[in-house]
Amino acid sequence: MGGLEEVRGLAGWVPLSIAGISPVITVVGDVMLDGWFSGTIERLCREAPAPVVELDRRDYAPGGAANTAMNLAALGARVRLCGLTGADDAGARLRGLLAAAGVDVTHLVEDPAITTTTKYRILGGDQVLLRLDETPRRVPAGAAARVAAEAAAAVDGSDAVIVCDYGSGVLDGQVRDALAAAPGDRLTLVDAHDPAAWAALRPDLVTPNAREAAGLLGERLDPRGDRARAVRERTADLLEASGAAAVVVTLDRDGTVLLTADGEFHRTWARPATEKQASGAGDTFVACLAAARAAGLPLTTSLDLAQAGADIVVHRAGTSVCSAADLAQHLGSFAGTALEPDELLQAIRRERAEGRRIVLTNGCFDVLHRGHTAYLNQAKQLGDVLVVAVNDDDGVRRLKGPDRPINPVADRAGVLAALSCVDYVTVFSTDTPVPLIEALRPDIYAKGGDYSEQMLAETPAVEACGGSVRILDYVPERSTSAVVRKIRGPGPVVEGAS
C-alpha cells in the first residue's frame, strides 16, 4: 500500500471511506429476530421455585446475519440481505425493522412452512434469566432453491458479499453452489461456524473464532495458552483448510489475529467490558471489517476499525449496532488522552502491581503509516502493557526541521491512543526519553529496526533500571519522511523513521 491510504488516522477514514463511498454489500446468511424482555422480580411463582418477572419492556432487534446487515447500513453501506424467514409475526417484525434501517429486503425469502428463527432473552433487573430459542426443524427444498436464486441475484453488481453461516442448514448445498458460481469479481468474506465448508468459494477473508479455528486445525486451542502464537504457527494450515487469502481469528477478550499467505501478521487488542447483556459484537466486527475493505482501506487499518466497532457495542446492553458517527466519536474521543507524567506513573504502578510487564517506546509519529503500526504491534507483544512516548512539537522541530511536525502533538497522541495495541500515551519535551525511562523503569524498551542498541543514548538508562532494549523489525520504505516525500513531491527531506 502507498500514498493516501497510508497517511490518514483511523478517525479520518470513517466518513470519507465508509459513509462517503457507500459500497454495495450483500449479506447472505442465517437471519433471526432477537428479543429482550425485561422487568422486575419481587416474588417466586407458586408452581415452582422460579422468579416471577413483571415485564415492563419488550425490545426487538434483527440478529445474526440481519444484525450484520443493520451494522452495514448504519456505517453507510448500501445493503442487500438474502436469507429465509417464516410467514409469521416474527418474520414481519424482522422485515419491518430492517426496511426502516434502509436494508434492501427484496431478496429475503419468506416461506409459510417454517418459523422465523428467534432468540428471546428474559431479564430480571440486569440479569439474563433465560433465553427462549425457536428455529425451523427443517429447511424445505423449495425454500433452499429460492434462497439460492435470490443470493445469485443479490450479489450481481455488489462490491462485496458477506456469508453469515451459523449452521442452520439454509446455506448448505444449493446456496453455496450458487454463490460459488456467481460471476464477477468482488470482496468475499465468510463468517461461518465451519469455514472449511466454504473453501471452494476461495474467500478473501474468513473470520473464525478460536473454537472454529481449532476445528479447522483438527485440534484444541488451550484457552490458558498463547492462542495468538498457536494460530500463527499454523497459518499455512488455516489458509489451506479455509481456502481463504487471509484469516482473521477472533479471540474474544484477547482481540484478533490477522494471518496472510505472504506472512503479514497483525494483532488487535480488545477493550473488554464486564457487561453480560451485550450481544452481536461479532456481527459488528464483521460488518466494520467488510465495509472498510470494500471502501478501499488497507487490511490492517480495516482490522483496527473493526476492533473499535466491536469495542463500542460490547459496552452496550442488548443487540446494538455501530454507526459511522459512533466510530468517529469513539476514535475522536482519544484526542487529548495523553497522560501527564504523574498520572502515567500512577497507572504503571497499578499495572506492575498486577504482575504486568511494561514495554516503552517513543518517537515523533508525525504521520501514521504502516511501518508505525507494524512495529507498535511487535512492541505490544513483548510484554503486557505498551506505553508510547511522543515528542512534543518543539522536540519534533529540533529533530526534523522547521517544517515539521505535519500534525500537532494532540492529534498525533490521539491517533496513537486509538490503536488497540497502545495502552498509554504520554508526551515528553526532552531531547531523549531518558528521564522518562528513569521514572517508569520499563521492563522492555523497544525501537524500530533502523537503530542498533549501540546507537541509542537510552540503552545505559534502560539497563541501569534492570530492563532490556529490543530492536524491532524495520519496514523498508515506510518511514514518515518517505511518506512526506510522496505527498510533497521532489525536494529535500530530513531523514528519519519516526
Using one digit for the tens of pLDDT, what is the confidence trace for 348-399?
999 999 899 999 999 998 877 777 888 898 899 899 999 999 999 999 999 8
| pLDDT the model gives residue 448 | 79
Q: Which residues contact 130 (CB under 8 A, 6 or more apart)?
A: 121, 122
Residues marked as catalytic: 283
Q: Is the pLDDT of residue 207 over 90?
A: yes
| pLDDT the model gives residue 315 | 83
Q: Which residues contact 163 (CB under 8 A, 6 or more apart)?
A: 28, 29, 171, 179, 188, 189, 190, 191, 192, 198, 201, 203
- When pLDDT is averaged across residues 330-351 and rounded to a whole number, the result is 83
When pLDDT is cut at 50, 70 and 90, the band that residue 216 belongs to is very high
HEC per residue, the chain: CCCHHHHCCHHHHHHHHHHHCCCEEEEEECEEEEEEEEEEEEEECCCCCCEEEEEEEEEEEEEEHHHHHHHHHHHCCEEEEEEEEECCHHHHHHHHHHHHCCCECCCEEEECCCCCCEEEEEEECCEEEEEEEECCCCCCHHHHHHHHHHHHHHHCCCCEEEEEECCCCCCCCHHHHHHHHCCCCCEEEEEECCHHHHHHHCCCEECCEHHHHHHHHCCCCCCCCCHHHHHHCCHHHHHHHHCCCEEEEECHHHCEEEEECCCCEEEECCCCCCCCCEECHHHHHHHHHHHHHHCCCCHHHHHHHHHHHHHHHCCCCEECCCCHHHHHHHHHCCCCCCECHHHHHHHHHHHHHCCCCEEEEEECCCCCCHHHHHHHHHHHCCCCEEEEEEECHHHHHHHHCCCCCCCCHHHHHHHHHHCCCCCEEEEECCCCCHHHHHHHCCCEEEECCCCCHHHCCCHHHHHHCCCEEEECCCCCCCCHHHHHHHHHCCCCCCCCCC
More confident call, 441 vs 476: 441
Q: Is the pLDDT of residue 324 over 50?
A: yes
Q: Is the pLDDT of residue 442 over 90?
A: yes
178-192, 194-208, 254-268: which range is least confident on average?
254-268
When pLDDT is cut at 50, 70 and 90, the band that residue 10 belongs to is low
Q: Is the pLDDT of residue 73 over 50?
A: yes
Q: Which of 360, 340, 358 is nearest to 349 (CA)?
A: 358
Q: Is the pLDDT of residue 205 over 90?
A: yes
| pLDDT the model gives residue 193 | 95
Mean of per-residue pLDDT scores for the chain: 86
Q: Where do we find the cell 431478496?
A: 107
What phi-psi label fits residue 184: left (phi over 0), alpha (psi between -120 and 50 degrees) or beta? left
Cα angle at 390 between 385 and 392, to 5 degrees? 155
Q: Is the pLDDT of residue 7 over 70?
A: no
Q: Which of 338, 358, 336, 337 is nearest to 348 (CA)?
A: 358
What's the pLDDT tens digit per position in 97-147?
999 999 999 999 999 999 999 999 999 887 889 999 999 888 888 999 999
